[in-house]
Amino acid sequence: MICVEDIVVSFDLGGGQEHTVLNRLSLEVKQGQTVSIIGSNGAGKSTLLNAIAGSIPLRAGQIHLNGEDVTSWPEWERAMYLGRVRQDPMAGTAGEMTVLDNLALAARKGSRRFRIATPPRFAREMEKKLAELGMGLESRLRENVSRLSGGQRQAITLLMAVLSHPTVLLLDEHTAALDPANAEIVDALTRRFIDEYNLTALIITHDMKRALEQASRVIMMHEGEIIADLSGPEKEKMNVAALVRLFKKVRGSEYAEDRDLLI
């Protein structure tokens, strides 16, 4: 469960000026719920995920994870409860380490709650998990990650994100840099892992069609605020055109991103 209460994030521009990125934003997400986050560039989407992860400080407000106030926790401590995948397929893995070593490091992140098996047994377990991805990676367990394609690396990053059994998954446009075929594969893996591990997931995307399909709830952000929160029947009757009309109605402006209008 995620509970964000009246958080403010701002950055010093110098000369006594500040730029507020998140403005008294509040959001509650129930355990096991998947939420798509959409909005124009600069809306504060990535900043929200960074705030939850502890990557940036708050000027005001509180953040609770699983009922615990983590507002003052450093990023490394919150990482015990969070899995995270960013847009860049190269960012989530160490290219000069083997696939197995990357997976071992990821599993060790949750070692207080997840006992690492002896190396041979762990390797067998990882080989089985990689085979389940359906990408042929089980035969490349001892190869350096740098030899893999972007789609393969992102699939491994996604597996690494869930190995320590987090309760929350933060995904920041994690398929945006992939070709359509690999994006579909990683999307399918994402849905499978969310269901398999009963994860609470926040997924930033610029693809509004995908936003509607992948989540039970869609929130729309603009200028550091949540301007629409759709779920249930209201969300089910939505399509891309309806979302664009809603944005214009709420903010009286055009939706800026042409690529968001994918139908």
Could you tell me the residue ranges of all domains in the chain?
A: 2-261
pLDDT at 113: 47
Residues 103 and 163: beta-carbon distance below 8 Å: yes
User: Of 59, 49, 75, nearest to 9 (Cα)?
Assistant: 59
pTM above 0.85, yes or no: yes
In which residue ranges of the chain is pLDDT below 50? 112-114, 116, 258-263
CA dihedral 85, 86, 91, 93 (to 10 degrees): 10
pLDDT tens track for 66-100: 999 999 999 999 998 999 999 998 888 998 999 99
Q: How far apart are CA 95 and CA 100, in angstroms?
A: 12
pLDDT at 223: 92
Give the right CATH number for 2-261 from 3.40.50.280, 3.30.70.100, 3.90.1530.10, 3.40.50.300: 3.40.50.300
HSE (side-chain half, CA atoms, 13 Å) at 42: 6
